[in-house]
Structure 1
Amino acid sequence: MKLTIVSAGTTSPSSTRLLADRLTESLTKQLGDGDGEELEVHVVELRDVAVDIGKNMVTGFPSPALQAELDAVTGADGVIAVSPIYSASYSGLFKSFFDVIDAGALTGMPVLIGATGGTPRHSLALDHALRPLMSYLRATVMPTGVYAASQDWGGEDAGELHSRIDRAAGELAGAMAGTPRSRRAGDGFSDFVPFEQQLADLGQLDV
């Protein structure tokens, strides 16, 4: 079973990567409590391919390094996507990466969304920015998203953050274990019949 982490943090260390790691740890534990299937984890650090993403958007062709990361996302059984929040939305780097993924490549993909920011006031960005983006890409977005403000990492709010992490990771674990990639939903148009063909078929019916 393959899990791909997409982290759009631009610093090292990064709270965005920290949140992604905590979600991965919880997911690994919860999958381990199930059928024991081994989890293969790949991390995509977007800052490492930022220049490649920009060139892809201009030329239309990914570099070998970027193509490998795109394949890791589209070939996964589940994705954890985490972005820092800038100006009340996901980062431009995060959006640009998903812009260069082939249309339909994430159809039915179980995706857990997460975000980090300096203040709790940006927590709604999960539902007004990240969730619509993943839904547009036809991914299956987990009901629980995880937002972590600076204050959530310590003190009395830490317990609530850990609870949200475990709940969200549990949803992704269930989706990955219950819906193998081979049974992923199609785009809804695989059985489309052109209108002209429908008229021709009607003309062949006995009345």
Structure 2
Amino acid sequence: MKLVVVSAGLSVPSSTRLLADRLAAATAGRVPGAVDLRVVELRDLAVEIAHNFTNGFPGRGLSAAIDDVTSADGLIVVTPVFSASYSGLFKSFFDVLDKDALAGKPVLIGATGGTGRHSLVLEHAMRPLFAYLRAVVVPTGVYAASEDWGVEGLAERVERAGGELAGLMTALTGSPVPGPTGPLASAQAAPASTAVTAQPSPGAAAVPAQPSPGRADGFQVVPFAEQLAALRS
């Protein structure tokens, strides 16, 4: 599976890249089989991104980065916080993508900042951006302030987010997913020809209900992985 990391850090070394690397390691460790890991450093593409806005054509490096992002099975995006939001470079990169490029793609969002007071950037800026792009954002976003490095809590959030992204990537590639057990499994295993007779009201005749495939109670269950695959197509 292909895992792509987009880092919008500007400095070298960069805390944004450090967080991105930790998220990538946590995700790759949960994905079955080999992982093709690619890292896109937006700092190196700043000029090409600007030129793309003025002439409409991506340069060689930007074109390769766009191909990596659009063909990824999973995406990790991390930005520093500028003026209480994602950086302009971060937003500019996603502005040059086709509007349908990320539809149905699993995305893990992360951000870094100098203070914990900017942690809501994940919810008021990044999550709405990728919801607009119709990506599937994992529930856990990871924000790391300067005081978070080396203290309890950050590692646990990183591992939880990585596990969530790995789970979505695995589901979308068609790997076996444990099925339900108990009464639900029995209901789903019932033959499609089984009909359910509705309980008639007094004086009314019983009318056979039309069952849907795979369920004897008239309901159809669509696995979450199939819903995501349909969204991507």
TM-score, structure 1 as length reference: 0.84
1:205 counterpart residue number: none
Task: Name which of 178, 186, 189 aligns with 2:231.
Answer: 186
1:172 counterpart residue number: 165
SS in 1 for 2:104: coil
2:153 maps to a residue whose letter is: E
Q: Alignment identity in percent?
A: 60
1:12 maps to a residue whose letter is: V
1:144 counterpart residue number: 140
Residues in 2 aligned to 1:179 and 1:85: alpha-carbon distance in whole angstroms: 31
1:12 to 1:185, Cα distance in 2 relative to 1, 3 A: farther
- 1:23-57 Cα offsets, whole Å, 9 max, x none, are 111112222xxxx3100000000000100000001
Task: Name which of 79, 82, 86 aligns with 1:86.
Answer: 82
2:230 maps to a residue whose letter is: A
- 1:141-187 Cα offsets, whole Å, 9 max, x none, are 00000000000002xxx220001001100000000001129963337
Q: How does 1:1-207 map to 2 (within 5 A)?
A: 1-31=1-31, 36-154=32-150, 158-180=151-173, 184-186=229-231
Structure ranking higher on relative contact order (CA contacts 8 Å, 6+ apart): 1
SS in 1 for 2:152: helix
- 1:72-106 Cα offsets, whole Å, 9 max, x none, are 00000000000000111000000000000011010
Higher helix share: 1
Residues in 2 aligned to 1:20 and 1:55: alpha-carbon distance in whole angstroms: 26
8 A Cα contact 1:109 1:184, kept in partner: no
How many residue pairs match? The answer is: 181
Q: Which runs of 4+ in 1 moved over 3 A?
A: none
The structure that has the greater radius of gyration is: 2
Structure 2: 5+ residue stretches without partners: 175-225
Structure 1: 5+ residue stretches without partners: 191-207
Residues in 2 aligned to 1:68 and 1:22: alpha-carbon distance in whole angstroms: 23
1:200 counterpart residue number: none
RMSD: 1.5
8 A Cα contact 1:107 1:184, kept in partner: no
8 A Cα contact 1:3 1:78, kept in partner: yes
1:5 maps to a residue whose letter is: V
